[in-house]
Amino acid sequence: MKTVLFACIHNAGRSQMAAAWFNALASRDKAAAISAGTQPGARVHPEVLEAMKEVGIDLSRAEPRFLSDDLARSAHLLITMGCGEACPAVPGLLREDWPLEDPKGKPIERVREIREDVRQRVAALVAREGWG
């Protein structure tokens, strides 16, 4: 089983959405996702909670967590979203960067667009890797 780690700065928006989409779309016996941040926030952004709830994904119990080197080493693939050089560099770990806008403080219409961008990227990843 493969582990995909989605990482952003606060682990309160993009990476939470990506991990939730991944776990909804991927076959649980092939791969699972976790998320973390380099400077975890106190909670998932309210606008992200609302946008994900609209598509039937409840993130109300999700808690931002710290992206440690050990956590990164436990993953098969690290997908970064705006943490740049603050994200750990782990030798041998596959890494991709997805340039996604931070949804924090954005109007719900924009957060929905970001949510759909994340969904499309995750769906393409799941299909590409054969994790569906």
Q: Is 87 a catalytic residue?
A: yes
Per residue in 94-120, pLDDT (tens digit) is 889 999 999 999 999 999 999 999 999
pLDDT over threshold 70, residue 12: yes
Catalytic choice (20, 31, 34, 87): 87
pLDDT interval class at 88 (50, 70, 90): low
Give Dmax over CA atoms of the chain in angstroms: 39
Q: Is 118 a catalytic residue?
A: no
* Domain, as residue range, for 33: 2-129
CATH number of the domain bearing residue 58: 3.40.50.2300
Q: Is 74 a catalytic residue?
A: no
**The pLDDT of residue 93:** 84
CA dihedral 19, 21, 26, 28 (to 10 degrees): 60
Per residue, what are the HEC states of 3-49? EEEEEECCCCCHHHHHHHHHHHHCCCCCEEEEEEECCCCCCCCHHHH
Q: With CA atoms as reference, report the closest residue to 16 among 55, 54, 61.
A: 61
pLDDT interval class at 84 (50, 70, 90): low
**The pLDDT of residue 27:** 97
pLDDT over threshold 80, residue 89: no
Catalytic choice (5, 7, 8, 75): 8
The tally of domains found in the chain comes to 1
Catalytic choice (4, 33, 83, 114): 83
